Amino acid sequence: MRHAEHFLSRLDRLPRSEVDLALDLYRDPDLLRAVLAGVSLPEGAQRVAVSIDDPVLGPFLIVTREGRFVTCLGRGMRSGDLPVVTRAELDALSRRMARLRQKVAVEAKVQERASAHLLRRLLVAADTVSREDFLAVAAWEPLLGPTFVDLYLAMATELLEQSPVLRRVRIRGTNAEEVLHTYWNLLHAAGHMALLAAMAADREYYASMTEVHTGARAAFSYALTGTGVVAFIVKGAWAAGRMGKLMLPDYKRALAQDIAFYELLDTLFALLAIGTRSQGTHAEIGKALRAAPHLARTTEAQRLRDVMGREVELCCLATANMLDTSADEIDATRLRLGESFFELGAGTPDGVREELVRTLPLLSWTDGITDGQKFLRSLTLIAASARGGPEQFYLPSEIARPLRVQWKPELVWTLLDPLIRTERAGRKPSVRASSVGRNDPCPCGSGQKWKRCCGR
């Protein structure tokens, strides 16, 4: 700082017409460093004379090799043995720097537009996102982290409202396709946003949002895991796991307070992901899982254990056992799942084959919760993916493109039907089937005609 003050106090040695150039260089240290880097300086030279007019007579700006300003020498004051950067070299390098800055500015604008386009794609063409697309948007996470959290929470709320309605009523008519496509897109977009929202910079923001109602933290993943679909179960669990210890007290509390079986499964998925990712929580979570079947803190939670006690016990024990399983064993099981889920041609290159085997099970639209085998498969995939980065849930574009499936309404019902069947199986009609007319409302409460619901 002393050198800079001395330099400024010697500007009166320069003609007024050259003071502006000297100040321009002083205010632009990057330009000065670029000039010094662009000329050949003797190895031992610690100071340099930058000529702003004549290379012999000056005036000169005396700067250090690192680009700090020392003093000014007026015209006729000699620079001694210091190496000289001539005015011609200064101008040439300045022009080159200006062109470089212009190019960088243009590229930055292009990149900004490209990133905005990609973010829009994550929202409105959500089922077409590749690994490259996701990583390009994820690079904006330090700047847009709170926005990602807000977007995900808004989408999660919408999903929790739409999913039960679509499961209860099979919509028909001219608007059906638009409604189903909107839901399909919302579901995929919420999966992307959950991953982005859970990345490092946003945990504190989410904590501040839920500071008053901390119990709400344990609902973070439910909008995705509650779909019952593997591709969204693993994303929701990964996001909860990435949130880590911040979420642990609330998910542990939820173990003893959940009043619905699917809510309990969401809690188990989240705790498995947290325990797998954060080894310091392993013993604490394992103990809580083994105690959960016999611990209920509310009347409603006890009622769940009274009605489904065996299922609760088996699921908690399976989750605890998965938490204790070695990483190598889990990874081997993941590879076996990948091989068994998908038939890969013999001519598939090894690199592509490995990518598909590891990634496709995480993208599966199959049911992940409605029976024990499916639940165990979901546990395996959660444990296998919990330590990885979010990019593992996406295929590279050159692999994803030929595998992309054209959307059609039937795809939504593929996702919804397992839960629809499970929910119907749990309903008990209040009257005998023989007393219900084919066109009467179904006594299960679905809102549909008997012939189109339980009468099928």
Cβ(88)–Cβ(121) under 8 Å? no
Distance CA 114, CA 133 (A): 10
Residue 449, beta-bridge partner list: 441
Could you write out the DSSP letters of every residue in 206-261? Answer: HHHHTSS-GGGGGGTTHHHHTT-BHHHHHHHHHHHHHHGGGTHHHHHHHHTT--SH
Predicted confidence at residue 65, as pLDDT, reads 82
Predicted confidence at residue 13, as pLDDT, reads 86
Domain locations in the chain?
2-98, 125-407, 413-452
* End-to-end Cα distance, the chain: 85
Nearest to 232 by CA among 352, 104, 367: 367
- Residues 348-393 have pLDDT tens digits of 677 788 888 899 999 999 999 988 899 999 999 999 999 999 999 9
Predicted confidence at residue 312, as pLDDT, reads 93
Distance CA 411, CA 187 (A): 12
Q: Around Cβ 6, how many Cβ atoms within 10 Å?
A: 14
Mapped onto helix, strand or coil, the DSSP state of residue 272 is helix
Tokens 């954060």 appear where? 278
Distance CA 209, CA 229 (A): 28
Task: Please report, as a single letter, which amino acid is at residue 75.
Answer: R
User: What's the length of the chain?
Assistant: 456
Query: Which strands form 58-64's sheet, in the order they lie side by side?
Result: 69-73, 58-64, 47-54, 84-85
Predicted confidence at residue 205, as pLDDT, reads 72
Predicted confidence at residue 430, as pLDDT, reads 40
Predicted confidence at residue 1, as pLDDT, reads 42
Q: Around Cβ 404, how many Cβ atoms within 10 Å?
A: 11
Residue partners of 455: CB distance under 8 A and separation at least 6: 433, 436, 438, 442, 449
**Weakly modelled stretches of the chain, pLDDT under 50:** 1-2, 107, 110, 428-434
Helix or strand run (H / E) with residue 71: strand 69-73
Residue partners of 84: CB distance under 8 A and separation at least 6: 48, 49, 50, 51, 55, 60
Cβ(404)–Cβ(360) under 8 Å? no
Q: Which parts of 292-408 fold into alpha helices (H)?
A: 299-324, 327-341, 350-359, 372-385, 397-403
Predicted confidence at residue 23, as pLDDT, reads 83
